[in-house]
Amino acid sequence: MSSGSGIAIALDAMGSDLGPPATLAGACEVSQHPESPRLFVVGDADVLRRELEKHPHDRDKIRIVHASEVIAQDEKPKEAITSKPGASILVAAELVKAGEAQVLVSAGNTGAVTMCCARTFTRLQGVTRSALGAVYPTERRRGEKDDPFSLILDAGLTLEASAEDLVGFAVMGAAYSKCISKNSRPRVGLLSVGGEESKGTESVVKAHAVLKRLGARSDGGFEFIGNIEGMDIPRGTADVVVTSGFTGNIVLKMLEGISETVMRLARSASEKSLQYKAGLLLLAPAIQRLRQVTDWQEYGGVPILGFDRLCIKAHGRSTARAIRNAIRVAHRAARTDTVGSIQKGLEAARSAE
Amino acid sequence: MSSGSGIAIALDAMGSDLGPPATLAGACEVSQHPESPRLFVVGDADVLRRELEKHPHDRDKIRIVHASEVIAQDEKPKEAITSKPGASILVAAELVKAGEAQVLVSAGNTGAVTMCCARTFTRLQGVTRSALGAVYPTERRRGEKDDPFSLILDAGLTLEASAEDLVGFAVMGAAYSKCISKNSRPRVGLLSVGGEESKGTESVVKAHAVLKRLGARSDGGFEFIGNIEGMDIPRGTADVVVTSGFTGNIVLKMLEGISETVMRLARSASEKSLQYKAGLLLLAPAIQRLRQVTDWQEYGGVPILGFDRLCIKAHGRSTARAIRNAIRVAHRAARTDTVGSIQKGLEAARSAE
């Protein structure tokens, strides 16, 4: 299991806004690592072949698979998937369904990618709704790699979540976190408006009761730390933050917005005064470090959870580095059998009901 | 109307964690301003009289009203209100109900204060659910005072909001913003997961349609800027952010948490390295200014909206300065007839249906 030789990743090479050049550059770089997985690179074969020749790569590891069509970032997912059966994302997903590859990676249109997963893959038993996990930087460090990221889900697939949906998100998120962050007993927190178990909407209160039972079981696979509140998000109190897609999406975009606001304020302070400019220069290494830590390109991609196959969705603006990191995450997920681990978690949840 | 002589404020003097000393210090300071309102200061008369003598004040402006009981911050609201009919918050609310005072100000237990409003005051026609507004600092400046605050509601009273509830929040928030920030046509944004009007939960999509019609009317009293997303919150794209109490509460606590996290990171950087310490020293004036702008004590209190009487809820940890600012906000709300303005907005909303 430690060698990647048996594992293959299907990479939608047309998805990123930066197009095949960025995706191929990332793929070629990964292929040179001795333990890297095999890669099916899916897209316009002529274009991909040309890009491939531009970068040193391991020929045994990369195989181009032709796809005649592309779904653009701004297309309506449903119409696009129906009208473009030859789209690169669909062809790549079919490779995963057929077992030729174990994980799907795409930087394409989020709606189209998730819809493609729902059409091509099979929903796991016990999953009421699939979820998009997202990682975000926190104050606290954890796990094997001392990494400061927490996972929050759902990030926007299931806007209104029932108690059952929330329990499913908790189980899937914990299993993913365990496999990817090598965190043997992730702390799961349920996002609410107060710490007491009576606080929150009806579905949050119901989910709390189930998660409390489940977290106490040895086969539950996680520690349930109860309700967490808004201030716990940046603190990193929980490894896995469970919430509906509506709130999750708003929280994530707000984190993004705040980083931008802080950077703009710093820039404007620096332009206004030499003293501030000097102060910011002295702080540059710390700011640089903070930027690295909060850089989404470092974590590369986020999982679409709930199916018998895993998909890592990379950011739409993925550069070669982001693609490389998304492939690494996908590889780790395959090596650690994330889907199997999710299934086990779901079984434990069913027997706890 | 411009002189405050006709206006009186009922101040629950027992509410703040810092107790009567902080509340009385704030009240005494306000009373010395020639245009300040009259103040009914409600609580244990002996204690209040002693505190009153410690500070210079205008004797004609302050009247002590005795209340034999106090509801603590950690008491269960319902039980406390039922078992303590002589509580300072209830006595103060009765003064407002009777028309002796125009606005209620309290730094007490939020649950007890809102429940007390619901029991003592009358819900305005057209209001399906009351709301707690909260102000938060943004990047953008606006209005007469060039103030960088936006209003978000509901902040936690109505966890799950129907389309009607959301429309009511928009109307009440716009009227409040217009009166308090002297912003003649506030920009109202509906918090969602995408800009298109089809994005969001069912109640958000329905509320969007109504607000679009209402915002287009000359008597609607606000500009509807459509859906806004998480990143628009710190940017200050909207003067009034409309959302359910669940999401609103999480957003507000997250903003608080992020400020704390940034301050902790700065402190720890400063302790680690002399270079960082020097950098932060050079930036101190900017940080100080940022702190002032983000200081909740500056805006003093937040409104409880939806009743025929207004209540300004001050922070539980209110100092004399916060109490002073809460009284000022209450005074301005009375002078500008905020409740009348909310009623007009609700009428316009009804005729737009």
Task: Specify the pLDDT at position A4.
Answer: 43
B251 to chain A: which residues are within 8 Å by CB? 230, 250-251, 254
Closest by CA to B161, choosing from B138, B192, B121, is: B192
- Closest Cα in chain A to B255: A231
Q: Answer whether residue B224 shows pLDDT above 70.
A: yes
B265/A139 Cβ within 8 A = yes
Task: Specify the pLDDT at position A3.
Answer: 40
Task: Specify the pLDDT at position B3.
Answer: 40
In this chain, the answer to whether the domains covering B8-127+306-336 and B134-257 adopt an identical fold is yes
B196 to chain A: which residues are within 8 Å by CB? none
Q: How confident is the model at residue B58 (pLDDT cuts 50, 70, 90)?
A: very high
Q: Choose among A159, A230, A257: nearest Cβ to B230.
A: A257
Task: Give the count of beta carbons closer than 10 Å to the beta carbon of residue A329.
Answer: 22
Q: How confident is the model at residue B4 (pLDDT cuts 50, 70, 90)?
A: very low
The span from the first CA to the last CA of chain A, in angstroms, equals 34
- Closest Cα in chain A to B235: A261
Task: Specify the pLDDT at position B264.
Answer: 79
What's the mean per-residue pLDDT of chain B? 89
Q: What are phi and psi of B130, to 5 degrees?
A: -75, 165
Topology of domain B8-127+306-336 in CATH is Isopropylmalate Dehydrogenase (3.40.718)
B247 to chain A: which residues are within 8 Å by CB? 246-247, 250
Contact criterion met (CB below 8 Å) for B213 and B352 = yes
A250/B251 Cβ within 8 A = yes
Task: Specify the pLDDT at position A1.
Answer: 32
Task: Specify the pLDDT at position A144.
Answer: 47
Q: Choose among A231, A255, A286: nearest Cβ to B269.
A: A286
Map tokens 């507000």 to a residue.
B252
Return the H-helix or E-strand segment holding A63: strand A62-66
Topology of domain A8-127+306-337 in CATH is Isopropylmalate Dehydrogenase (3.40.718)
Find residue B302's DSSP bridge partners.
B313
Q: pLDDT tens track of chain A, all 353 residues? A: 334 458 999 999 998 888 899 999 999 999 999 999 999 999 999 999 999 999 999 999 999 999 999 999 889 999 999 999 999 999 999 999 999 999 999 999 999 999 999 999 999 999 999 999 998 888 776 554 556 689 999 999 999 999 999 999 999 999 999 998 878 889 999 999 999 999 999 999 999 999 999 998 877 789 999 999 999 998 889 999 999 999 999 999 998 888 777 778 778 778 888 888 888 888 888 777 766 666 656 667 889 999 999 999 998 888 898 899 999 999 999 999 999 999 999 998 888 76
Alpha-helical segments (H) within A181-319 = 202-216, 232-235, 245-272, 274-282, 284-293, 296-299
Q: Choose among B160, B192, B251: nearest Cβ to A230.
A: B251
Query: Which among B76, B191, B258 is the top mutation candidate for probing chain A, defined by the most A β-carbons within 10 Å of its own β-carbon?
Result: B258
B139/A264 Cβ within 8 A = yes
A276 to chain B: which residues are within 8 Å by CB? 282-283, 286
Give CA–CA dist B247/B236, Å, rounded.
17
Closest by CA to A75, choosing from A15, A131, A134, A18, is: A15
Task: Specify the pLDDT at position A284.
Answer: 82
The interface predicted TM-score (ipTM) is 0.87
Closest by CA to A125, choosing from A274, A308, A301, A295, is: A308
- Residues with Cβ within 8 Å of residue B78, at least 6 apart in sequence: B115
Contact criterion met (CB below 8 Å) for A313 and A304 = yes
Q: Answer whether residue B146 shows pLDDT above 70.
A: no
A261/B249 Cβ within 8 A = no
B246/A193 Cβ within 8 A = yes
Residue ranges per structural domain of chain B: 8-127+306-336, 134-257
Q: Choose among A235, A256, A262: nearest Cβ to B231.
A: A256
| Residue range A134-295 in CATH 3.40.718.10 | yes
- Closest Cα in chain B to A160: B201
Closest by CA to B62, choosing from B329, B309, B327, B313, is: B327
B275/A193 Cβ within 8 A = no
A254 to chain B: which residues are within 8 Å by CB? 230-231, 233-234, 251, 254
- Total-model pTM: 0.89
- Closest Cα in chain B to A231: B257
B256/A258 Cβ within 8 A = no
Q: Answer whether residue B257 shows pLDDT above 70.
A: yes
Pairing relationship of beta strands A301-305 and A310-314 according to DSSP bridges: antiparallel
B160/A257 Cβ within 8 A = no
Question: 3-state DSSP helix/strand/coil percent for chain A, to nearest 5?
Answer: 50, 20, 35
Q: What is the pLDDT of residues B163-197, one digit of tens each?
A: 999 999 999 999 999 998 878 889 999 999 999 99
Task: Specify the pLDDT at position B29.
Answer: 95
Q: How confident is the model at residue B298 (pLDDT cuts 50, 70, 90)?
A: low
Give CA–CA dist A126/A164, Å, rounded.
9
B231 to chain A: which residues are within 8 Å by CB? 253-254, 256-257, 260
Mean pLDDT over residues B205-212, rounded?
A: 96
- Closest Cα in chain A to B252: A230
A252/B247 Cβ within 8 A = no
Give CA–CA dist B347/B267, Å, rounded.
52
Closest CA of chain A from B333, distance in Å: 28
Instruction: Identify the sign of the CA torsion A137, A334, A6, A62.
Output: negative
| Residue range B134-257 in CATH 3.40.718.10 | yes
- Closest Cα in chain B to A282: B279
Closest CA of chain B from A294, distance in Å: 13
Closest CA of chain A from B191, distance in Å: 8
